[in-house]
Copies of this chain bind each other. A is one copy, B any other.
């Protein structure tokens, strides 16, 4: 002790910065270490975290869940009508994004998209009648996730809409998504004008059958190699799908020609895909859903298998916790707005597309897509930092999906509820921004985070399950 005091003293202060400030003000050398107690000092959550951290049963379950996720072999198999393709789809049913939600609580763009779907199905004559029908209780509303499907933004799927079929070549399981309509005025952003409905009808009657005819003789398209290439070509396959769409078109174009469609229809189909750099998004989402479903249902696993938003609530599902949703209020989005719009016009966080982040893409793979910052904001350094930060809350890296900017290390994947609660690092999500009112459409894009409260609830539920068994 006397010798210690003879040498010059340095101080490391852990936690509250005020202590360090006092020392610094008195001329002392002090290093401030950022630290917060686990579970933010909440005793019950902290105890649950302590019990589950390094628990052999949880570790083993997570190893199994991650292996199942990584072992899935998604193939774009074909297209089908929602009514005959989606498990449990009813004839007077409309699916939507996120956890369950009744009509009265839905946000503007979701109500707009549902009104549009009712008009598209010819269940009502005008928007007013459509909204009345929606409010009447005669239409069943259900999350896409409850029917093996995912949909971006409002995520509305009605019985006549065509859906992509992505199949796991390893297990035979399937996942589904609707078709992407392009940017701007689109049903998924709550627009339902005649142009929107006409395009949906063209997608149903021309585009989907053409693609179905092209895919059949190919026997499907393996999606992992395509996405791996797209990551090397600057996509994060959530808000940037320029490369994936071009690569898909490269595979589809010769097959579409061989399907011997009328030349005018064929040219329109090719134009439509060529003109929409987000065309691949919905296929990306169905692929992610399929891979995460493979990891779902492993008893004791703390791996997140879905993150989704309905514009009111953000919800997650966890491998070891069955069909339960753990929800918290949907957040706002920090983003870039189209000319004439701003944050006050924005709906809250919306859509199933955060399934891509759940699978390690989107915000988690931003290092692959420096150009995304021109769309969602920030700098290329931020993009790389986001990917590196997400490593702290994930179970592993997908060696199939390499990120060149991180020296070809794999995309961080398998969000661990425990790690999120322990570190306080919330999953980062790249997302579009819908206008808060029905009928307007997209007004920007940006970055948001999954609320910590979803993860603390799930952690306590995992702990309760572990104590019960």
Q: Do A404 and B249 have beta carbons less than 8 Å apart?
A: no
Q: A380-B405, A405-B380 are in contact. Are A270 and B243 (CB under 8 A)?
A: no
Q: How far is the CB of A146 from chain B (nearest CB, A)?
A: 36
Query: Are B246 and A267 in touch, CB under 8 angstroms?
Result: no
Q: Provide the A454-468 mask, 1 if CB < 8 A to any CB of B, else 0.
A: 000000000000000
Q: Which residues of B contact A249 (CB under 8 A)?
A: 246, 249-250, 253
- Number of residues in A with C-beta < 8 Å to the partner? 31
Q: Which residues of B contact A385 (CB under 8 A)?
A: none
Q: Which of A41-49, A97-105, A257-265, A343-351 contacts B (4 or more CB under 8 A)?
A: A257-265
- Contact between A254 and B229, CB atoms less than 8 A apart: no
Q: Mark A226-269, 1 if CB is under 8 A from B, else 0.
A: 00010011100000001100110111011001101001001100
Of the candidates B232, B234, B263, B381, the one whose C-beta lies within 8 Å of that of A257 is B263
- Closest CB-CB distance, A273 to chain B, in whole Å? 8
- Nearest-CB residue, chain B, relative to A406: B380
Residue A274 CB within 8 A of the other chain? yes
Closest to A274 in B: B250
Is A234 touching B404 in the complex (CB atoms < 8 A)? Answer: yes
* A370 touches B (CB below 8 Å): yes
Q: How far is the CB of A256 from chain B (nearest CB, A)?
A: 8
Contacts of A254 in B (CB 8 A): 267, 270-271, 274
Chain B residues closer than 8 Å to A243, beta-carbon distance: 233-234, 243, 246
B258 touches A267 (CB 8 A): yes
- How distant is the Cα of A178 from the Cα of B76 in the complex, in angstroms? 37
A408 contacts partner chain B, Cβ-Cβ < 8 Å? yes
Quick one: which of B229, B247, B266, B371 contacts A232, CB cutoff 8 A? B371
Identify which of residues 331-385 in chain A touch chain B, using a CB-to-CB cut-off of 8 Å: 370-371, 379-381
The residue on B at minimum CB distance from A248 is B246
Q: Is A34 interfacial (CB 8 A cutoff)?
A: no
A6 lies within 8 A of chain B by Cβ:
no
For A370, what are the chain B residues with a Cβ–Cβ distance below 8 Å? 404-405
Q: Chain B residue with minimal CB distance to A242? A: B233
CB distance from A388 to the nearest CB of B (A): 15
Q: Are B263 and A258 in contact (CB under 8 A)?
A: yes
Does A253 contact B270, Cβ atoms closer than 8 Å? yes
Name the residue on B nearest A273 (C-beta).
Answer: B250
Sample 18 A-B pairs with CB under 8 A, ordered by A number.
A233-B233, A233-B234, A233-B242, A233-B243, A249-B250, A249-B253, A253-B253, A253-B270, A253-B274, A254-B267, A254-B270, A254-B271, A254-B274, A257-B257, A257-B266, A260-B263, A379-B407, A380-B407
Chain A interface residues (CB < 8 Å from chain B) = 229, 232-234, 242-243, 246-247, 249-251, 253-254, 257-258, 260, 263, 266-267, 270-271, 274, 370-371, 379-381, 404-405, 407-408
Apart from A380-B405, A381-B407: 9 A-B pairs, beta carbons within 8 A: A232-B234, A233-B243, A234-B404, A246-B246, A249-B249, A257-B257, A257-B267, A258-B267, A260-B263
